[in-house]
Amino acid sequence: MTAHQTITAPEAADTEMMSGAEIVVRSLLDQGVEVLFGYPGGAVLPIYDALFAEPRLRHILVRHEQGATHAAEGYARSTGKPGVVLVTSGPGATNAVTGIVDALMDSIPLVVITGQVATHLIGTDAFQECDTIGITRSITKHNYLVKNVDDLPRIMHEAFHIATSGRPGPVVIDIPKDVQFGKAAYQGPQAVTHAHDYRPQVKGDAGRIAEAVTLIAQSRRPILYTGGGVINAGPRAAKLLREFAELTGAPVTSTLMGLGAFPAADPKWLGMLGMHGSFEANHAMHDCDVMVALGARFDDRVTGRLDAFAPTSRKIHVDIDASSIGKNVRCDVGIVGDAASVLEDMIAAWKSMRLSVDKTALAEWWKQIEVWRARDCFAYTPDSKLIKPQQAVERLYHHAKDKDVYITTEVGQHQMWAAQYFRFEDPNRWMTSGGLGTMGYGLPAAVGVQIAHPDSLVIDIAGDASVQMTMQEMATAIQYDLPIKIFILNNEWMGMVRQWQQLLHGERYSHSYSESLPDFVKMAEAFGAVGLRAEHPGELDDKIAEMISVRRPVLFDCRVTKEENCFPMIPSGKAHNEMILAQEARDLGSIIDEAGKRLV
């Protein structure tokens, strides 16, 4: 090879000298970024200066950096594109930490750019200095400290590649202020040479796939257990899941993260599984003989007691992250790969091997499932004077279901009621903090979703405690004219904490009651939003209709019964088939043993 063959002539634009700040902005544009969520400060001022001159990038000014990360998560989850965050050094970075962990736990692609003090000041306890790279090392998929502006184009493009490929996750790029001022030659996404050889395995092993489909064909009681991985694999994966369920006739359940991958209207849908999942889903999981886990990670909220988890089953586990396979639960067939790619290959193998299911056995299985379904585990008793929280979500669903609707939630009882009573037919419509369980996620996430889908109906199903954690983002919604609907199930308690104290701690309600709540209607008005309140079942429908019809941000104070518990429930330390229904839940404290109480 001669020397000139090794040098490819880069395009003229790619050799342009730019400042570090300009490189950041240009890289974002070249990555197809349209929106970023951020908050300025001393150590990112050069980048903000470069943004000032760039009309193609829309910057959404949040009110707290945690809000920026959750908004970026909402944006990412509802679009499938990476979310981008820009914050300053020190407190800017530390405030973003919660959202970064949240994105790691729920596998959300984020690129978080943090400012840093100038390189010669690092380590001197300079003003607004913190060890961002040290703090975020264990909470990111990868992170970078850019010490040399020449590395910046490569790192910017590599960060997007890492955040979005394989198991998605957050990537932090910490850029010292002098690097933002420094000059370097810009290189585009195609021109840079990545320092990391990061190529996650997408295609599943053909032999294991053949083994898996054979096992499914031989099964008498199959079940598909799907998770957020199916959503992350894109809409194609959700389509393929429907096809595969049709082919095998197997029932489908999903984790909290996977809701929407399979249509709730399909008769094969059993509802969510796990601690507050449906009776039929949990019993079917317990009694199945072949379980196909697709992009789900056997979380403790899903499995319940591990040594009694689906004891008679053989398990097939498909996951893009090899470390998830066999981590909590041992599996018989582990397939590393992308959910869409593996589903496609499984369907092809099923067809080419001319496999079929045992129709008689499957009919028996469905007969049993219908018996469980007939228990009607989500039944509740409405009250003539007070609004039940379940009823509130049910009515909200009734009014919103025919609209182009996106739902976010905070964390707690309302989140579980939302998962139980709101039904999803499509992926990317449901945004909730599953792994980390971050109270305060839903409101800023709704901001991000509404930015991506300005004409859609975006509702945050919230709790009165959670919503106060990131309430200031209402001002963001007002500033950008985002008609988000914050539907607060207000019971004046930290409901899930209260529920556990009632059931597990002898009704000692230690610090879980909100002695003073703001007047949410007046608060809405103070922000410049619309405040609505419903106190009686009779006015619920009209008020919800009003909330939906208003083209402005709404805070909806839905006063619900104060001491309602979230059922069904698998008590801590119990198995799937030891689920408690609402009518059986008189004295849960005596059902859970001491070992169970120690579990979270």
Partner 1 sequence: MPDPQPASVYDLDHKAEVENLATFAVLVDNEPGVLHRLVGLFAARGYNIESLTVAETDRNAHTSRVTIVTRGTPHVLGQIEAQLEKMVSTRHVQDVTRDPNGLERELALVKVKSLGAERVEALRVADIFRARVIDTTHESFVFEITGAPNKIDKFAELMRPLGLVELSRTGVLSITRGADAL
Q: What are the residues binding partner 1 (CB under 8 A)?
A: 133-134, 137-138, 141-143, 145, 147, 162, 195-198, 307, 311-315, 321-323, 325-327, 329-332
Find all residues with CB under 8 Å of 33, minimum gap 6, and list them.
57, 82, 84
Of 330 and 398, CB closest to partner 1:
330
Rounded to whole angstroms, the Cα distance separating 496 from 43 reads 40
Of 71 and 210, CB closest to partner 1:
210
The burial of 570, by beta-carbon neighbours within 10 Å (0-12 exposed, 13-18 middle, 19 or more buried), is given as: buried
Closest approach, Cβ 196 to partner 1, in A, equals 5
Strand 17-19 to 183-185 pairing: antiparallel
Q: Which of 456, 535, 496 is nearest to 74 (CA)?
A: 456
Closest approach, Cβ 75 to partner 1, in A, equals 23
Closest approach, Cβ 211 to partner 1, in A, equals 12
Rounded to whole angstroms, the Cα distance separating 544 from 558 reads 10
Question: What would the 3-class secondary structure string for 278-345 be?
Answer: CHHHHHHHHHCCEEEEECCCCCHHHHCCHHHCCCCCEEEEEECCHHHCCCCCCCCEEEECCHHHHHHH
H runs (alpha helix) in 113-151: 132-136
Closest approach, Cβ 314 to partner 1, in A, equals 7
Of 268 and 574, CB closest to partner 1:
574
Decide if 484 contacts 476 (C-beta within 8 A). Answer: no
Closest approach, Cβ 466 to partner 1, in A, equals 28
Of 204 and 263, CB closest to partner 1:
204
Collapsing DSSP to helix, strand or coil, 38 comes out as: strand
Of 153 and 553, CB closest to partner 1:
153
Of 15 and 312, CB closest to partner 1:
312
Decide if 14 contacts 39 (C-beta within 8 A). Answer: no
Closest approach, Cβ 283 to partner 1, in A, equals 17
Find all residues with CB under 8 Å of 307, minimum gap 6, and list them.
none
Find all residues with CB under 8 Å of 505, minimum gap 6, and list them.
none
Collapsing DSSP to helix, strand or coil, 547 comes out as: helix
How far apart, in Å, do the first and last CA atoms of the chain sit?
63
Of 155 and 443, CB closest to partner 1:
155
Closest approach, Cβ 24 to partner 1, in A, equals 20
Helices (H) and strands (E) in the chain, counts: 24, 20
Question: DSSP label at 459?
Answer: E
- Positions marked catalytic: 65, 127-128, 177, 496
